[in-house]
Amino acid sequence: MGEVMNEVALDTIRPVLGVTTSVLGRAWQARLDEAGELRAMTLAQAHGLPDLLARVLAAREIGVDRVTAYLSPKLRDLLSDPSTLVDMDKAVHRLAHAVAAHEHVALFGDYDVDGACSVALFGSYLRDLGCELSFHIPDRLTEGYGPNVEAVTALARQGASLLVTLDCGTMSHAPLAEAKRLGLDVIVIDHHLASENLPPADAIVNPNRQDDLSGLTMLCAAGVAFVVLVALNRELRRRNFFTAERPEPDLFAALDLVALATIADVMPLKGLNRAFVRQGLAVMKARGRLGLRALADVARLDGEPTPYHLAFLLGPRINAGGRIGEASLGARLLMSRDEGEANAMAATLDGLNSERRVIEEQALEAALAQAQAALSEGDPPIILAHAPDWHPGVVGLVAARLKERHRRPAFAFAVAPDGTMTGSGRSIEGADLGRAVAAAVEAGHALKGGGHAMAAGVTLPSGGSRTFLDFISQRLKNAVEAGRAKSALMVDALATAAGASPDLIATLERAGPFGAGSPEPVVALGAHMLADVAVVGAGHVRVRLRAPDGASLSGIAFRAAEEPLGQALLAARGGRLHVAGTLSVDRWGGSERAQMRIIDAARA
């Protein structure tokens, strides 16, 4: 690792390696400015940290007094009193009564990973304490997002006395009014943006309520549900509910679900979320949950789980049920207590995910053509693509790919036979898409919609795409311009193939987990030769990066074969390029090797 350490200081030169325009049109900039360099030096000296680790912490503005807590985040230090959330005590008292009376509780969740994890988290807890349980995950195509009158009526007919909505319900006025009319008590547990006018419910626990001052706005729904269960556990303990024969549930063991939901819903990995994910990954490593174990096996997840695995291997497979299959599959898998059943559901989800990839690629090809046509006429702040033959279950993924390709917010819509358009948007840092969509609904430019800063769902009237696009573009124009101006690739350190070792990666991982709000450290390799360049798998480009001293490092650029990055790598076979990316450990056949996920390259 010493070779890397000797070269790290070189990235104080700006731009890094002299790269002002990479193959993706970006400058490479050192993540630390001069003040940051001084912070890093102070951290290294005060805590005896390796230089690179100190640099990563300094880039995240971690002060000397916060280093220990940051490197070892603990729930007990970061989880404030649950009662600071508005309506928490109301929700907990009603739930405690339901548990004590073994009531029939109905859960209504969303069809994405956060919804499935929230339902599994809450459902497993209530089931283990003797409640009769039923749950409903709406079909994306026939029911759409959130509670609906028909489903609520069906749950009431099944004998439920309490309805709990998870990852939805904050804007569901008519369905919840119907639930109350049918005699159901209603608790909403959600994290989506809320308007001032809330639906009828006995309690609405949502840190994004306008009157909530808890400071927990960064939690996903599963995170909010976990906090509710912490408070419920406390209340049941106060009531002497737990006994030797009826022990207190192990909430710590449920953190695998909270971690998965936090990563899949792209929540910022700061504060409490870092503790959720760090400790949730440790729980997941033990492979105690049958459903996640089965899913990890079909996804060929080898070694310790990482945020990358959650985001790109496990999350998409759970989502596949809600996108193109049976919406409840994910929640059922995560709650399963039968190994054979779990293996069968995991295999089904794996097959659906493969089918989803084909459908997504077909839609993406047309969406990229529409985006290119829009860009040829100017530099729009927002990209919008739509088609009548796109599957509504993949439009969010198409929007994400458009956003990644063109580095600006993007929407993709499926058009129904009546002309109405159902779609999703994905955003860049600094452009709050959820608030913009909520404003469009209030202004009458969308029939319904909502979300959070980085993602939103929306339904438009027939012929309403141009009006909606103009409204969103005008509202987010300045934020998008500011965000794109900061789109330089931020580099944490320079290294060589010899220095990029498993030991170096272990050092970097001490500052993890990495994800939204806490990006993976980016390492740049200067003037390495590209040997053995080839297209593998589903359009990935694999290379062998060779340093002047002969040391080599495996690298891969995912889904890049037809992209500018992949084309540049293929064209440079046998030549030299500056290459930038993130490092991970490839575990295969009992051995460990470092590898780079290549995210950019530039002429040497």
Supply the pLDDT for residue 169.
96
Supply the pLDDT for residue 3.
40
Reported confidence tier of residue 401, pLDDT bands at 50, 70, 90? very high
Which whole number is the average pLDDT over 492-508? 91
Of the two residues 6 and 584, the one the predictor is more confident about is: 584
Checking if the pLDDT of 12 tops 70, the result is: no
Supply the pLDDT for residue 325.
87
Checking if the pLDDT of 9 tops 60, the result is: no
Share of the chain above pLDDT 70, in %: 97
- Sequence-distant (≥ 6) Cβ neighbours of residue 100 within 8 angstroms: 236, 239, 241
- What would the two tokens of residue 267 be? 């929540």
Of the two residues 193 and 553, the one the predictor is more confident about is: 553
Mean pLDDT for the chain? 93
pLDDT in tens, 224-233: 999 999 999 9
Supply the pLDDT for residue 586.
83
Of the two residues 4 and 380, the one the predictor is more confident about is: 380
Q: Is 435 exposed, middle or buried (0-12, 13-18, 19+ CB in 10 A)?
A: middle
pLDDT in tens, 309-336: 999 999 999 999 988 889 999 999 999 9
Quick one: DSSP state of residue 199?
P
CA 535, CA 577: separation in Å to the nearest integer? 18
Checking if the pLDDT of 98 tops 70, the result is: yes
Supply the pLDDT for residue 589.
65
Q: Is 466 exposed, middle or buried (0-12, 13-18, 19+ CB in 10 A)?
A: exposed
- Sequence-distant (≥ 6) Cβ neighbours of residue 90 within 8 angstroms: 202, 203
Domains and CATH numbers, the chain: 2-70+489-603 (2.40.50.460), 78-251 (3.90.1640.30), 379-485 (3.10.310.30)
pLDDT in tens, 351-379: 999 999 999 999 999 999 999 999 999 89
Question: Which helix H or strand E contains 552, and what residues bound it?
Answer: strand 552-557
Checking if the pLDDT of 10 tops 60, the result is: no
Supply the pLDDT for residue 175.
97
Supply the pLDDT for residue 7.
40
Supply the pLDDT for residue 14.
66
Residue whose C-alpha is closest to residue 20's, from 379, 489, 484: 489
Which whole number is the average pLDDT over 262-273? 94
pLDDT in tens, 279-311: 999 999 999 999 999 999 999 987 889 999 999
Q: Is 14 exposed, middle or buried (0-12, 13-18, 19+ CB in 10 A)?
A: middle
Checking if the pLDDT of 8 tops 70, the result is: no
Supply the pLDDT for residue 150.
96
| Order of strands across the sheet that contains 410-415 | 383-387, 410-415, 421-426, 455-460, 448-452
Which whole number is the average pLDDT over 465-473? 96
The one-letter amino acid code at 253 reads A
Checking if the pLDDT of 1 tops 90, the result is: no
CA 556, CA 536: separation in Å to the nearest integer? 9
Supply the pLDDT for residue 82.
97
pLDDT in tens, 412-468: 999 999 999 999 999 998 899 999 999 999 999 999 898 888 899 999 999 999 999
Supply the pLDDT for residue 270.
92
- What would the two tokens of residue 335 be? 């709650």
Reported confidence tier of residue 57, pLDDT bands at 50, 70, 90? very high
Region class of 555: left (phi > 0), else alpha (psi between -120 and 50), else beta = beta
Is residue 595 within 8 A of residue 554, CB to CB? The reply is yes
Supply the pLDDT for residue 2.
39
Neighbours of 340 (CB within 10 A): 10
SS3 141: coil
CA 527, CA 547: separation in Å to the nearest integer? 8
pLDDT in tens, 125-149: 999 999 999 999 999 888 988 999 9
CA 464, CA 594: separation in Å to the nearest integer? 50
Reported confidence tier of residue 487, pLDDT bands at 50, 70, 90? confident
CA 433, CA 472: separation in Å to the nearest integer? 9
pLDDT in tens, 517-556: 898 999 999 999 999 999 998 899 999 999 988 999 999 9
Reported confidence tier of residue 249, pLDDT bands at 50, 70, 90? very high
| Residue 28 backbone phi and psi in degrees, to 5 | -105, 120
- What would the two tokens of residue 132 be? 């009769």
Supply the pLDDT for residue 38.
94
